[in-house]
Amino acid sequence: MHDPPQLLREADWLIEIGPGSGTEGGTVLATGDVTTLGKDPHSLIGGFRTGREPVLVRQRADRDTMFDQGRIRGLTAADFSCNTGSLRCPRCEGTGQVSLDVRFLPHVDIACPACDGTRYAPEAAGILRPTPTNPDDGMSLPDLLALTARQAIEQVGDIRRAEPSFPTGPA
Ligand SMILES: [Zn+2]
């Protein structure tokens, strides 16, 4: 099932952990079915479903409308793909992880030491886009992708394609 709204509707019980990713996560925000979450002011999922929270779909925001500096260097949107683009990390081939082959032990996956798990080659960090809160210095795509959705919308809210595109409405 690849349709998140359908998954939420059909789940018997949801445990929402957040409020952000990485170090901003780890707290149970709300539990229940999607209707319960929609009424719970602590739930971000409920907020997204009801339109209370802005939603940013990062993959749509990250490439062709963002990097004028990239265009100057002759790069296209395809170059910013971490799967197949020229800016992907050559060591991990854009996966962000490498597998350690330790003798007599199972393989261990760790964050790629070349890109620190960002999935991009070092050149990507040098391509900056001015953002509303960083108008002079700008931010790189790897830096933007490390942000939570809430942090990222402050940086790319000026891009039309970053407007909320997650289906919202009554649960
Ligand atoms: Zn890498």
- Backbone conformation region of residue 34, classed left if phi is above 0, alpha if psi is from -120 to 50, else beta: alpha
Q: What separation in Å is there between the alpha carbon of 135 and the centre of ligand 1?
A: 28
The single-letter DSSP state of residue 84 is T
Task: Tell me: do 104 and 147 sit in the same domain.
Answer: yes
Task: Tell me: do 107 and 26 sit in the same domain.
Answer: no
Task: Tell me: do 37 and 90 sit in the same domain.
Answer: no
Q: What separation in Å is there between the alpha carbon of 149 and the centre of ligand 1?
A: 23
Residue 167 resides in a domain: no
Specify the pTM. 0.55
Boundaries of domain holding 10: 4-50
Q: What separation in Å is there between the alpha carbon of 164 and the centre of ligand 1?
A: 30
Q: What separation in Å is there between the alpha carbon of 168 and the centre of ligand 1?
A: 35
Closest alpha carbon to 16 in 35, 44, 38 = 44
Q: What separation in Å is there between the alpha carbon of 27 and the centre of ligand 1?
A: 29
Task: Tell me: do 84 and 118 sit in the same domain.
Answer: yes
Q: Where are the alpha helices (DSSP H) in 34-168?
A: 34-39, 44-50, 58-61, 68-72, 122-125, 141-145, 149-156
The 8 Å CB, 24+ separation contacts for 144-152 are: 144/58, 144/61, 144/62, 145/58, 145/62, 145/118, 146/118, 148/20, 148/21, 148/24, 149/55, 149/56, 149/58, 150/20, 150/54, 151/20, 152/56, 152/58, 152/61
Q: Give per-residue pLDDT as tens, 4-36.
A: 677 778 888 988 888 776 667 788 888 998 888
Q: What separation in Å is there between the alpha carbon of 43 and the centre of ligand 1?
A: 34
Q: What separation in Å is there between the alpha carbon of 146 and the centre of ligand 1?
A: 14
Q: What separation in Å is there between the alpha carbon of 85 and the centre of ligand 1?
A: 13
- In the chain, the number of structural domains is 2
pLDDT one digit per residue (tens) for the chain, 171 residues: 456 677 778 888 988 888 776 667 788 888 998 888 888 888 888 877 777 766 554 444 444 445 566 666 788 888 989 889 999 999 999 999 999 887 888 888 999 999 999 999 999 988 888 888 888 888 899 998 898 888 888 888 777 766 554 444 444
